[in-house]
Amino acid sequence: MGRTSLVLGFIVAACFSGIAAQIKGCEKANMADIVILVDGSSSISPGNFQEVRSFLRNFIKDLDIGSNKVRIGLAQYSDEPQTEFLLKDHSDKRSLLAAVERIQLLGGGVTETGKAIDFLQKQFFTKEAGSRADQRVPQVAVVITAEDSTDNEGEANVKAPAQKLRQDGVMVFGVGVGGANRKQLESIANYPPDRFMHSFDSYQALQRRTEELLDLVCRSVVEQKEGKATDGRTRYRGA
């Protein structure tokens, strides 16, 4: 019994320590500000929202979380965006994962992606919210959407805020699930699409391929630190 408890304790400690990344591409990605924007509209079922939580858990567990390492922020949106937690709010993996377990599906009948991206720029990628852009720490946004944006100007109203975010030096990953609009994803994400734009048939498929997406995020972080990215629109030189 004592030996079993010792083994379990070791496993739990290893999960939260963040000492060794499980994904090779993340071993050197030890400093970044990553904000994840999740579609929380009524098009997402409670079951699919559980898959979103699983995705977030698996995305976080292989990162080296810490106030001077990788910081994670999370927002959810439908007709209005909502802060779940800011970059500055959780400085250890245990606290961060506990916060993920507490999030609830926002609901709401429409998906205003452009408004939500503008919200990220103004509320998350600021020094007050915990962004370290002024210290040249790589800035990353992962935008997950499941349907067409319903912003007043359609695709154009997604393109403008995403362009502003990229011009501020944020690397933007566009992740579409189910019926997400590919042209809107192209407007959101950095270039090249094979690195920064990803489509999945379902949230189950997204969850299964979390490691693949995380590896791309980590490699992009490392290459930005090494000065291989980015420029304006933004075309990715490191690819």
* pLDDT one digit per residue (tens) for the chain, 239 residues: 455 444 444 444 444 443 343 577 798 999 999 999 999 988 888 999 999 999 999 999 999 999 999 999 999 999 999 999 999 999 999 999 999 999 999 988 788 999 999 999 999 999 999 999 999 999 999 999 986 676 555 455 788 999 999 999 999 999 999 877 888 899 999 999 889 999 999 999 999 999 999 999 999 999 998 876 554 444 433 33
pLDDT at residue 142, as a whole number: 98
**What is the torsional sign of CA 22, 30, 209, 15?**
positive
pLDDT at residue 225, as a whole number: 86
Tell me which amino acid residue 82 is.
Q
Place of tokens 């071993």: 27
Give the burial class of 156: count Cβ atoms within 10 A of its Cβ; 0-12 exposed, 13-18 middle, 19 or more buried.
exposed
**What is the torsional sign of CA 78, 167, 128, 136?**
positive
Query: CA torsion 96→198→153→49, rounded to 10°?
Result: -40
- Work out the end-to-end distance of the chain between its first and last CA atoms, rounded to an integer number of angstroms: 51
Least Cα distance to 195 among 142, 137, 164, 236 occurs for 236
pLDDT at residue 39, as a whole number: 93
pLDDT at residue 181, as a whole number: 80
Place of tokens 């699983």: 54
Close Cβ partners of 186 (under 8 Å, ≥ 6 residues apart)? 174, 193, 197
